[in-house]
Chains A and B, each alone.
Chain A
């Protein structure tokens, strides 16, 4: 017997990891509140300096701070906890071996790690055949459902949650067809042709939706670009 109530389901992707409440208003908070939510500029500088000096405690702090988000990025694409962990482990290994005192500080540690993780997840995704199964498994109804997936209450205590909510707001402001297209392309790493096949729309339509979506996202997220978490 099944019961349709109970334990809150972890946000799913398709794109469950991108659970965008469609009616959430777009609201950008102050730079100060976001900075407090992840790590201060002073702590970022301190972490960078200590990492360059091969301070393992600093690496441990960074891992603790960022791993939930990096796992979220990798898992949303790979749909596999073990693969996601491998990607995050590899990301930190490369970061640890490449960071130097002279490294570019303008990007920020968190955006750097997010980008590295995402790139590695894309590489891994494009190198495995399981992706075919993912593509064929997609249906529009699944994607519609996922956009209103619930959020665990304790996630709000996660460092970086404020940035997360603002990105969500930006995504929520997109028309549904653009949000689905950008979700599949950006958060799940599908190629445009695969998105077209899974949605049953022409390739040109997918490209247009994605281009329009990114244009809107650039505008919505531009106020965040100079924030140093």
Chain B
């Protein structure tokens, strides 16, 4: 076999960029001085031009296409544009939560609730503030935010997950959905490598968003995603039986 025979034999792998790095460099160098190989490689590239379409398409995350456009034309996107929707939802939830806490505090004012001592009341407020602070920290330190859009009865809602990898916890927001029909309920699931693991039952009343924090299931469960289903109420501990409304893969 001559040196040129090697290049002839490997034209296809070069055209497919499937040679090792050193071989790719050697081939590129050879092409500069070999018209026959260059023409052959161009023909093979043309024949294999659609081969990358062997992959499955991946649905872009919300806002990505806008960011691609901004990046391509050199327009700097807003720093938080990528997460503007989930952050907005979370902010409104936390605002509401804080308001509720203050309302609770006012209702327990010594004038109206004389039996609650000041130290006990302060301790309760401190605990709730710590919990709130913890919730916010998950959102602040989230490595990624995943969103899924859900259409129900012409109404658009969704599920947003803030993934905080340091403590392996998620803040999950379910919003914009109508109250579940009688005898059914929204059910959150972990999608694991070997099946589905039941998570929190999601209570939604009059389209009020729900925020909850969850840790991961047992360490043996390799979580690959999450799902939201509409489950019959009698299905309290079985596998998913209801309609899948959303699923998110990591």
Cβ–Cβ contact A18 & B58, under 8 A? no
Cβ–Cβ contact A18 & B54, under 8 A? yes
Is B227 in the interface zone, CB < 8 Å from A?
yes
Cβ–Cβ contact A164 & B57, under 8 A? yes
Cβ–Cβ contact A1 & B237, under 8 A? yes
Cβ–Cβ contact B17 & A118, under 8 A? yes
Cα-based distance from A32 to B10 in the complex (angstroms): 33
Report if A67-B227 is in contact (Cβ < 8 Å); known contacts: A18-B54, A108-B49, A225-B49: no
How far in angstroms is the closest Cβ of chain B from A222? 5
Report if A1-B198 is in contact (Cβ < 8 Å); known contacts: A63-B65, A63-B69: yes
Cβ–Cβ contact A89 & B67, under 8 A? yes
Q: Within residues 235 to 250 of chain B, which ones have a CB less than 8 A from any CB in chain A?
A: 237-240, 244, 247, 249-250
Q: From the candidates B48, B53, B65, B247, name the one contacting A69 in the complex (CB within 8 A).
A: B53
- The closest CB in chain B to the CB of A185 belongs to B18
Cα-based distance from A17 to B56 in the complex (angstroms): 5
| Residue from the set B20, B21, B45, B56 with the largest chain A CB neighbour count within 10 Å | B56
Q: Give the residues in chain A near B73, CB-CB below 8 Å.
A: 56, 59, 96
Report if A2-B192 is in contact (Cβ < 8 Å); known contacts: A17-B56, A63-B65, A92-B71: yes
How far in angstroms is the closest Cβ of chain B from A204? 13
| Residue from the set B19, B44, B71 with the largest chain A CB neighbour count within 10 Å | B71
Report if A72-B65 is in contact (Cβ < 8 Å); known contacts: A2-B197, A221-B50: no
- The closest CB in chain B to the CB of A111 belongs to B49
Q: Give the residues in chain B near A33, CB-CB below 8 Å.
A: none
Q: From the candidates B16, B17, B57, name the one contacting A71 in the complex (CB within 8 A).
A: B57
> Secondary structure of the B side of the interface?
mixed
Cβ–Cβ contact A3 & B224, under 8 A? no
Cβ–Cβ contact B195 & A6, under 8 A? yes
Is A218 in the interface zone, CB < 8 Å from B?
yes
Cβ–Cβ contact B47 & A7, under 8 A? no
How far in angstroms is the closest Cβ of chain B from A5? 6
Cβ–Cβ contact A6 & B71, under 8 A? no
Bits for B210-224, please: 1 = Cβ < 8 Å to A, else 0: 000000000001001
Report if A114-B58 is in contact (Cβ < 8 Å); known contacts: A3-B240, A59-B73, A92-B72: no
Cα-based distance from A44 to B103 in the complex (angstroms): 60
How far in angstroms is the closest Cβ of chain A from B235? 11
| Residue from the set A3, A158, A222 with the largest chain B CB neighbour count within 10 Å | A3
**Taking beta carbons and an 8 Å cutoff, which residues of B are in contact with A?**
9-10, 12-13, 16-21, 44-61, 64-65, 67-69, 71-74, 144, 189, 191-192, 194-198, 221, 224-225, 227, 229, 237-240, 244, 247, 249-250
In the complex, 15 of the A-B residue pairs with CB atoms within 8 angstroms, ordered by the A residue number, are A4-B195, A6-B229, A6-B240, A10-B225, A60-B69, A68-B60, A75-B55, A96-B73, A114-B53, A122-B17, A151-B56, A164-B57, A167-B51, A211-B12, A214-B12
**Taking beta carbons and an 8 Å cutoff, which residues of A are in contact with B?**
1-11, 13, 16-20, 56, 59-60, 63-64, 67-69, 71-73, 75-76, 81-82, 84-85, 88-90, 92-93, 95-96, 107-108, 111, 114-115, 117-119, 122, 126, 151, 155, 158, 160-161, 163-164, 166-168, 170-171, 182, 185-187, 191-193, 210-211, 214-215, 217-218, 221-222, 224-225, 227
